[in-house]
Amino acid sequence: MGSIPHAHGHAAGRTPTPDNLLTLYIPDVEEWKAAVQRMRDAGFNPVPAFNPYWDRDGLTFEDPDDYRIVLQRGEWTY
């Protein structure tokens, strides 16, 4: 992994909560699987989601600063 940017003498704060997420909706199953594999290949392993909803049709990954991304298998609806 690369270095984490920071300002000398200033500690960057942590993410507000484990439920603050960047969610990427990927409807195509094969594209979703490929995205999950790219995350794994980059050294990230899935972590249990704070909200179990995200574990049903997706996987959550966490970076070294505790920020989380969800790769959701499905379409975004509103």
In this prediction, residues 18-39 reach a mean pLDDT of 95
In this prediction, residues 21-38 reach a mean pLDDT of 97
Q: Is 39 in contact with 27 (CB distance < 8 Å)?
A: no
What global pTM score does this model have? 0.78
Show the tokens assigned to 56: 């049903």
Domains within the chain, CATH numbers bracketed = 21-73 (3.10.180.10)
Look at residue 66 in the predicted model and tell me its pLDDT: 84
Q: Which of 74, 36, 40, 76 is nearest to 57 (CA)?
A: 74
pLDDT, tens digit, for every residue of 37-66?
A: 999 999 999 999 999 999 999 999 998 888
Look at residue 70 in the predicted model and tell me its pLDDT: 97
Residue 74 has pLDDT above 60, yes or no: yes
Residue 1 has pLDDT above 70, yes or no: no
Q: How far apart are CA 60 and CA 35, in angstroms?
A: 12
